[in-house]
Chains A and B, each alone.
Chain A
Amino acid sequence: MQVSIYRYNPDVDEAPQMRDMALELPKGRDLMVLDVLERLKEQDPSLSYRRSCREGVCGSDGVNMNGKNGLACITPVSAVAKRGKLVLRPLPGLPVIRDLVVDMDQFFAQFEKVRPYLINDKPPPAGERLQSPEERAKLDGLYECILCACCSTACPSFWWNPDKFIGPAGLLQAYRFLADSRDTATAERLGELDDPYSVFRCRGIMNCVNVCPKGLNPSRAIGKIRGLLVRQGV
């Protein structure tokens, strides 16, 4: 199989380029894209990418595979390769450090901006704070985010204003705390989001929903934040 990979090592290369590598695939077994990368790295140890858990929960190996963002470790080659060719690029929209490794500082800065932690101004009880199963169910589809950045780097609004638009991943987290019955900072959180960029740059393109490897729906969360803003602001 032909694998075309985005290669750039600032120590050596003047400019990035797509380089082809060949790989013999085992018969009767569908490899994951990460398996392909690991085998290619045995051929050429200088190939760089992030990876860790290899089971889709750590969020390290978000890459762009034949044009679509996803996690290399849980994406079968057969699901993305077109006409026997696998094309691997770094996540779009972020600066490339080397090969498939991107600089995620901007992404995490937006995550931190939403104050991604529980705020509760009452002193905690001796035991746990109570929460009904129904209240807890509101966090489903939100807390599972693994911060892989597949969604935000698939979002044109994030490409255009990565410093001002929080992006789908950060907004999903923002809503995770707005929706938590234990959080008491709803008004302040909403106040911090009421500018023309942070939330309202979302145009409902839905690329985020389309690529999320965990099947989450940031668009819906953004809609819910808008709804809360309207309810508070009107």
Chain B
Amino acid sequence: MVTQATSLSRSGLSDFLIQRLSAVVLTLYALCLLGFFLVNHSIDHGSLTAFFGAPSMQAFSILAVLSTAAHGWIGLWTVGTDYLRPHYFGAWASALRMVYQAVCGLVLFVYAWWGIRLFWLVGS
């Protein structure tokens, strides 16, 4: 067992399942949006607000935002641990990795916070 402190769930299996489940959520969400845009020929602010303001769609949107954050973290964490390695960066690798992970975390947090706020407010 390899130790790791910054992976999403600490468990390879959980990360694996979360990544796949979040991918399913995002696929369904994307299909849902695609359906909406295909069915509605005249799209304006009113129809958009009505669509995203429906409570079920609000929940779905917020789920999609959370899925994006989780999926993104697992993916970006993996990419970082693949490439930001002592082999390339020597003694700086760990520091570099920490900065990279902090930046990724901050960006994902901001997007998630912003997305949730947006979809929460759209109905009111």
Contacts and interface: CB of A to CB of B under 8 A. Distances in A.
Interface of A: 157, 160-161, 164, 191-201, 226, 229-230, 233-234
A196 B82 contact: no
Interface in B15-64: 15-17
B101 interface: no
Interface string B2-16: 111001001111111
Q: Which 6 A-B pairs have the closest CB atoms?
A: A200-B12, A196-B12, A197-B2, A160-B82, A196-B7, A164-B2
B1 interface: yes
Contacts of A160: 82-83, 85
Interface in B76-100: 78, 81-83, 85
Looking at chain B's contact residues, is the secondary structure mostly helix, strand, loop, or mixed? helix
A190 B81 CA distance: 23
Contacts of A201: 78
Given A194-B12, A195-B11, A234-B17, A161 B81 contact: yes
A234 B16 CA distance: 12
Looking at chain A's contact residues, is the secondary structure mostly helix, strand, loop, or mixed? loop
Given A229-B13, A230-B17, A233-B13, A197 B85 contact: no
Given A193-B1, A195-B2, A195-B4, 4 more contacts: A161-B81, A194-B12, A233-B11, A233-B14
A201 B85 CA distance: 15
Contacts of A191: 1
A197 B77 CA distance: 12
Contacts of B1: 191-195, 198
B83 A197 contact: no
B57 to A, nearest CB: 29
A17 B31 CA distance: 54
Contact of A194 (B3, B11, B81, B82): B11
B65 to A, nearest CB: 23
Contacts of B12: 193-200, 229
B50 to A, nearest CB: 38
A207 to B, nearest CB: 15
Contacts of A161: 81-82, 85
Contacts of A192: 1
A194 B85 contact: no
